[in-house]
Chains A and B, each alone.
Chain A
Amino acid sequence: MIAVKNLTKHFGTRTAVHDLSFHLEAGQTLALIGSSGSGKTTTLRMLNRLIEPDSGQIFINGENVTRQPLEQMRRRMGYVIQSTGLFPHYTVSENIAIVPDLLQWEKSRIYKRVNDLLEHMGLPPAEYASKYPDQLSGGQQQRVGLARALAADPPIILMDEPFGALDSITRTRIRREVLQLEAFKSKTVVMVTHDIEEAFEMADVIILLHKGKCQQMGSPKELLQQPANAFVSDFFRNQKLQLEWSIYTLKDIFTQLSLQPFGENGLLVPIETSIQNTLNLLNENTVKTAKVKLQQETRYFDIPTLLNAQQDLTQHESV
């Protein structure tokens, strides 16, 4: 879907991105992470050519983006930024309709699409369609920004710190809502974030950048368990436990470890759920025990059992 070859960009004498190559399948989510100035935003903005690379190529569906008409190319990519960039003089529905308008959709089609999206985003059109951005809360603005990016149903979404301007509770909530959106699930997504947890929760592939160079590319699990160098392991050190909660699923635990059965009832959790999300689910439902279905049997567990099991698993895998 997206293939990047030997991408390099200098700003004056500073190298922002150095010889970066990667490949992303359709439907995958890539998170670009790294400290400030690592080149992650520059990389993202080269994908829709807001910044022109000094050298290297970008292919989308096998086509070189520099050979495509700039505006048409951008209209096929949703673009979400931290400060939303909503037009203050447009209403919510006018904001969402921008790209469909540019693509000259029928009025009735635009109207239907905008209303559907607002409905899905939890912003009832009757109440929100004709509001202006400054009348919305930060979280609502961010949702409108996302709806705007999804409006013309582009196959690719680019997101630059999409939840960065929100407080941590709102951020977690909106992130979950987004992940559950049907409209979002099929997209190929490239996102920039400084929130490592967010990257681990959303991404299939992570690229850790430092001073414009790729330190490691791989799945969250690979980065955490098989760091390519000292920089990578240092980068995750402080959050290691927390991050492990998002990479291990109940399946990892119950297929690899034999746990003492516990209790006889509890909340049913799908087996692919991460430990982090299982904990969230239990918290949200204010229950202490849960059950998970393996092939034949049903297993029951509580929170302490789960956390102990995860520690065992870490040791088990690192042996």
Chain B
Amino acid sequence: MNLFEFMYENRSELATQTLEHIGLTFGSLAVAVLLAVPLGVWIARRKGWANLTLGIAGVLQTVPSIALLGFLIPFLGIGAKPAILALFLYALLPILRNTYTGILSVDAAVKEAALGMGMTPRQVLLKVELPLAMPVIFAGIRTATVINVGVATLAAYIGAGGLGEFIFGGISLNNPNMISAGALLAAVLAIIFDQLLAFLNRTPLRRLVRTAIPVSAVVPFFALLYFVPQWSSSGLRIAFDPEFAGRTDGYPKLAALYKLNLNTKILNHGLLYRAAAEQEVDVICGYSTDGRIKAYDLTVLEDDKNAFPPYHCAPLIRKELADAHPELAQTLNLSAGRINDSTMTLLNYRVDFNQEKPEAVAKDFLQQLKLWKPNRKDGGEKLTIGSKIFTEQYILAHLFAQLIEGYTDFDVTIKTGLGGTKICFDALQKGAIDLYAEYTGTGFLVLLNPSQTEINQLITDGPALYDYVAKIFPEKYNLTWLQPLGFNNTYALIVKKELSVKEKLQQVSQLAKLQK
């Protein structure tokens, strides 16, 4: 499918996003003009404040946009409000600085003549300074507009819509058409508005003063466009990250299986949990063992129709080593089935939010299970445990290490931070590490590259999938899956606990009843 076919096919979504984009740009611009122009005039009068004010506006300009958006969520929630505030802050500096410069650059003789003829300071401002500074102020507004068209793509991170939805969705899904469609329209918008303002900027001063009034009326009109697509929305507020919303085993599969037709927003993955915690949205997507579920008092909806692929976690070990030392498998299987989803969530929570060390959390947990034993022997045979770079993997690596050192003579070292799946797996195959914690879904989908038929057969059945990878891996890679730990770290729909209690919402299939 080429780009234009794609755009034609998605024209209604693109139109919605374009309207939202224009609305966000001009909504923030209107607020920025209303504030920055008077402020610019004021600092032109009190030069002592000019450096401070321009300095603050300059600092705001340098705050990374995504950080700013994240910072605003606790105060303003998600959606248009924080997006417009952030865009407003970025538009502030160019308008402020140009107003200040414009007012200061008005010919001193003209101002002197105006005062000398008996104009009041207010008349001097309205009849002389502002009209004469207008071209410079306009240039500032033009700069701010172009900046805002660009930054407004980031509004998609906080559920405010706009063309960023396609751009970031396209990036997550590696879909060039989606990226290009969003980016192309954003670029076209930037060019149109820039040229429009450039045209106004070129019109002679005297006519410009007369056009300034209709133009300032058009800006709020454009801002209202934002709300056009939203008139139709109501019911449950649902937000997904771009990847989940787009990938075939994510929301599309869920929607088909459960017959859902939800009104969803797109939100940056890092902001989803916060948004649910602040009750800005009712349902989000996430991962079932994420520590934030516990931290923000959320709860996972049961995937009662098995829409999501199972990602049961189990130690993956070199077959030669496991065969040579059967005590290793015996030892590690002590923890098999002992960690369910909520236990893993709690362990993650302790590291992420209580700032405890993974090592200490692992030890504490083993002690609770009465499995912990002190190090049996120093200076024994070497064994290396790997981990990918996220909390759960760090905890599991330490848990395995403490078990092995307590029950066998091995001397364990841990290599954390081996990046993603591919790095851990290669390291294991080459013998650089001896074992790490892997997930069945990942082992199947990423490492085995199964055919579509195999996927369809196995992907919904957790135990069958484990049996399948446990059978294939020793033959194909000379690696052995030990027994699963119990939890399933997969996609999940997550809601606030209060809502779950209030609406008796525990399973995904119940969502269908709540949808409008």
Interface residues of A (CB under 8 A from B): 48, 50, 70-75, 77, 79, 81-89, 98-99, 102, 132, 148, 158
Contacts and interface: CB of A to CB of B under 8 A. Distances in A.
A245 to B, nearest CB: 34
Contact of A48 (B110, B116, B131): B116
A73 B116 CA distance: 10
A87 B110 contact: yes
B128 A50 contact: no
B131 to A, nearest CB: 5
Contact of A74 (B118, B131, B206): B118
Given A88-B132, A89-B131, A102 B119 contact: yes
B366 interface: no
Given A88-B132, A132-B206, A102 B118 contact: yes
A74 B116 contact: yes
Contacts of A79: 113, 116-117
A86 B120 CA distance: 17
A71 B205 contact: no
B117 A87 contact: no
A85 B112 contact: yes
Nearest to B127: A87
**Listed residue (B112, B117, B206) with the most chain A CB atoms within 10 angstroms of its CB:** B117
What 7 pairs across the A-B complex have the smallest Cβ distances? A85-B113, A74-B118, A75-B118, A79-B116, A83-B109, A85-B109, A71-B118
A222 to B, nearest CB: 31
A248 to B, nearest CB: 36
B114 interface: yes
A55 B165 CA distance: 69
Contacts of B123: 102
Count class of interface residues, chain B: 20 to 34
B418 interface: no
Contact of B112 (A50, A77, A132): A50
A89 B132 contact: yes
**Listed residue (A72, A79, A84) with the most chain B CB atoms within 10 angstroms of its CB:** A79
B205 A81 contact: no
A87 B129 CA distance: 10
Contact of B117 (A82, A89, A98, A132): A98
A87 B109 contact: no
B116 A86 contact: no
A98 B113 CA distance: 11
Contacts of B117: 74-75, 79, 98-99, 102, 148
B115 A84 contact: no
**Listed residue (B113, B123, B132) with the most chain A CB atoms within 10 angstroms of its CB:** B113
Nearest to A151: B117
A86 B110 contact: yes
A266 to B, nearest CB: 46
A102 B114 CA distance: 11
Contacts of B113: 79, 81, 84-87
Q: Is the interface of B mostly helix, strand, loop or mixed?
A: helix
Nearest to A85: B113
Nearest to A83: B109
B111 to A, nearest CB: 8
Contacts of B115: 50, 74
Contacts of A86: 110, 113
5 contacts: A72-B118, A85-B107, A87-B110, A102-B119, A132-B206
B114 A84 contact: no
Contacts of B205: 88-89
A50 B121 CA distance: 12
B109 A81 contact: yes
Contacts of A72: 118
Interface in B205-229: 205-206, 209
B127 to A, nearest CB: 8
A148 B110 CA distance: 13
**Listed residue (B110, B112, B127, B205) with the most chain A CB atoms within 10 angstroms of its CB:** B110
A50 B111 CA distance: 11
Contacts of A88: 107, 110, 132, 205
B133 to A, nearest CB: 11
Given A87-B128, A89-B206, A89-B209, A81 B112 contact: yes
B110 A85 contact: yes
A82 B107 CA distance: 13
Given A87-B110, A89-B205, A50 B119 contact: no
Nearest to B208: A89
A74 B117 CA distance: 6
Contacts of A75: 117-118
A58 to B, nearest CB: 15
Nearest to B206: A89
Interface string B443-456: 00000000000000
Contacts of A83: 107, 109
**Listed residue (B112, B113, B118, B119) with the most chain A CB atoms within 10 angstroms of its CB:** B118
Contacts of A84: 109, 113
Contacts of A85: 107, 109-110, 112-114, 116
A71 B118 CA distance: 4
Contacts of A148: 117
A233 B107 CA distance: 39
A71 B116 contact: no
B139 to A, nearest CB: 17
Nearest to B123: A102
Given A81-B113, A87-B128, A99-B118, 14 more contacts: A72-B118, A75-B117, A79-B113, A81-B112, A81-B116, A83-B109, A85-B109, A86-B113, A87-B110, A88-B107, A88-B110, A89-B132, A102-B118, A148-B117
B506 to A, nearest CB: 70
B486 to A, nearest CB: 78
B208 to A, nearest CB: 9
A74 to B, nearest CB: 4
A22 to B, nearest CB: 21
Interface string B322-338: 00000000000000000
Contacts of B112: 50, 81, 85
Nearest to B132: A89
A71 B119 contact: yes
B35 to A, nearest CB: 25
Contacts of B118: 70-75, 99, 102
A81 B117 CA distance: 11
